[in-house]
Amino acid sequence: MVLRLAILLIFSGRTAVLAQNSRPPAGQMSAAEILDMHVAATGTLEAWRALQTVDAYGSFYFGAFNSSGDFHFYYKVPESDVFQLDMTSHGQTSVGHNGETPFSNHAGEETRAINGVTVLSLEEGWIALTESAFDRRYARIDLAGTTKINGKCAYALQFTPRVGDAQVRYYDCRSFLMIRMDSTQRMPLEKGSPELVYKVQTDFSAYGEFGGIKFPRQINATASAGDLVLEIHEVHINRPVSDSVFQKK
């Protein structure tokens, strides 16, 4: 999670090891340099070093922009997180990690995806915003090049995990804030049938400062079936978070 942070990674030069095979074109920044700038853009070194927990909450909507429920995201150093989706008239679905062990919980009707956007992809987006220990989760981070997102230049970095599918994160060439992430989603169909594999695009915008660290105030996740919009109301840094939220129920 950038937590505790890639700071320990980036400022010790370990991102350079992860990006060792991604030599940029002449005059272009390396993956390690982009991550250095991203860390500096999102908060002070002191704020990242002091970070122990993240407690974020807000609401989400889709379709005709009717309010559809609330969400919570919790993180606790060094490696525990959970994304909780409370959908009106359906119940709560949550996915997360207790250390390195993934888990999921359901209270009421299970909601695996909305408009094709999975709860897992929403968790992945928040992990990307609070990522740390890149050397443990990722085999390598490569600079794929530059592109235009909403008319602005963005660096594209490919994150290849030790387990699972690669994802691409896009960083604004001027602000170095993460503005988009493309991830692969896998949805099991009927037993014995091939799983459905597709891309989810997640956009991050309207960054604001919370406790010395910047997070987006809006997240827009898009799959083939439509959009899902998260409005972030508040992000609390270092507020006590019970270990019970990271337990399998």
pLDDT tens-digit map of 143-198: 999 999 999 999 999 999 888 899 999 999 999 999 999 999 887 766 667 778 88
> Which of these, 168, 164, 159, 165, lies nearest to 203 by C-alpha position?
168
Q: Is the pLDDT of residue 28 over 80?
A: no
pLDDT value of residue 209:
95
Distance CA 37, CA 58 (A): 28
Q: Tell me: pLDDT of 50 over 70.
A: yes
Q: What's the pLDDT score for residue 36?
A: 85
In this predicted model, which residue has the larger pLDDT, 217 or 17? 217
CA neighbor of 56 nearest in space, from 32, 82, 31, 93: 82
Q: Name which of 57-61, 190-194, 236-240 the model is least confident about.
A: 190-194
Question: Which has more pLDDT, 94 or 66?
Answer: 94
Name 70's Cβ contacts closer than 8 Å, sequence gap at least 6. 57, 58, 59, 60, 86
pLDDT, tens digit, for every residue of 96-151? 999 989 999 999 888 888 888 999 999 999 999 997 556 778 899 999 999 999 99
Provide the whole-model pTM: 0.85
Tokens of residue 72, six digits: 């919570």
Residue keyed to tokens 């989810």: 200
Q: Is 203 helix (H, G, I), strand (E, B) or coil?
A: strand
**Does residue 16 surpass a pLDDT of 80?**
no
pLDDT tens digits along 78-90: 889 999 999 888 8
Q: Nearest CA to 73 among 19, 40, 119?
A: 119
- For residue 193, which amino acid is it? S
